[in-house]
Amino acid sequence: MRFGSAVARLQIPPTARPYTDHHAYCLYFTSGTCHKCIERCPAGAITEAGHDKINCRQHVRPVTENYVKSNFGFDGYGCGLCQTGVPCESKIPTEQDLV
């Protein structure tokens, strides 16, 4: 969730990435295990085939949009449940993270 933004005029060198594919740290794509993000997606928008952005958006808007407005009183939306409570949430996962 983005809570705010800061704009600055400075140059920051990019962090070197030791991988070439965005799936490199996904336990499903590297070893065929895990599926935690699939299990956590309330919209069923994540499958072994990938992320169905249309299905995801249909859940986020209006489902979470209405929830945010009625419970927090502002226009906003978001979900991100597939990205929390999973082995890759805050680090490069290992098979031991599945235990």
Give the Cα separation of 45 and 86 in Å (integer): 16
Each residue's pLDDT tens digit, 39-94: 999 999 999 998 999 999 998 888 888 888 899 888 888 888 999 999 999 888 98
Give the Cα separation of 7 and 24 in Å (integer): 31
Q: What's 98's DSSP letter?
A: G
Please report the pLDDT score of residue 39 as a whole number: 95
1-5, 30-34, 60-64, 70-74: lowest mean pLDDT where? 1-5
pTM: 0.71
Question: What's the token pair of residue 57?
Answer: 């958006």
